[in-house]
Amino acid sequence: MRKDYVSCRTLIYDEDGEFLTNAKILDHDSNENTIKVQNLPALNSRKKCELVILTSPKPYSYKGTIHKTAINKSDAGKLIRLYQKREAENRRDPRYSTNILARIEALIFNNTVYKLHTAMAVQLINISKGGLRLRSKYNALAIGNRFPINVKIGDTDTMLTAEVTNITDSKTDYSEFGCHFVNKDS
């Protein structure tokens, strides 16, 4: 079964890993391995890019080449040809810096979801195809905690499932949590 990326959000970076923009995917041709996004100014002078497509339960990352679509048409946008799809965890994979607010509303224990009384606001520091790093209140999570995380970009919500693998504390101000993506049922 092929993945359909229509209506998913994608984070777009230049070849050096610098964030350019985020966009909603307007069209996806799995036979041609292309996606179409809005014609955004940040993409005008670019030929190559790297993308993280936010899909549940874990994102996909690609390299891409950017092409213009038809001129003077109401549906004109940018066509991005995708290549080098990456799914498996590899610590050498690039981490993409980001500054996105998200929410953790539940924890998962023994494949059962337990809703929190109050949703936990977190900040995504970076994301890769295999995981993410987030910042939250000091000592808010523990190693081994699993949780669905709601990432909202624009009008699109993406639910990812992650597990805490490491913690870095900054005195008592906040903690950063390194997490890898997991399937909710595993």
pLDDT tens-digit map of 7-42: 999 999 998 888 899 999 999 998 899 999 988 889
94 contacts 127 by C-beta, under 8 angstroms: no
Q: Are residues 147 and 100 in the same domain?
A: yes
Q: Are residues 22 and 66 in the same domain?
A: yes
9 contacts 156 by C-beta, under 8 angstroms: yes
Q: Are residues 37 and 82 in the same domain?
A: yes
Q: Residue 136 sits in a domain of what CATH number?
A: 2.40.10.220
Q: Residue 77 sits in a domain of what CATH number?
A: 2.30.110.10
| Between 95 and 164, the higher pLDDT residue | 164
Between CA 88 and CA 108 the distance in angstroms is 23
pTM of this prediction exceeds 0.95: no
pLDDT tens-digit map of 32-71: 999 999 888 899 888 999 998 888 777 888 999 998 776 5
24 contacts 38 by C-beta, under 8 angstroms: yes
68 contacts 77 by C-beta, under 8 angstroms: no
Phi, psi of 130 (to 5 degrees): -105, -10
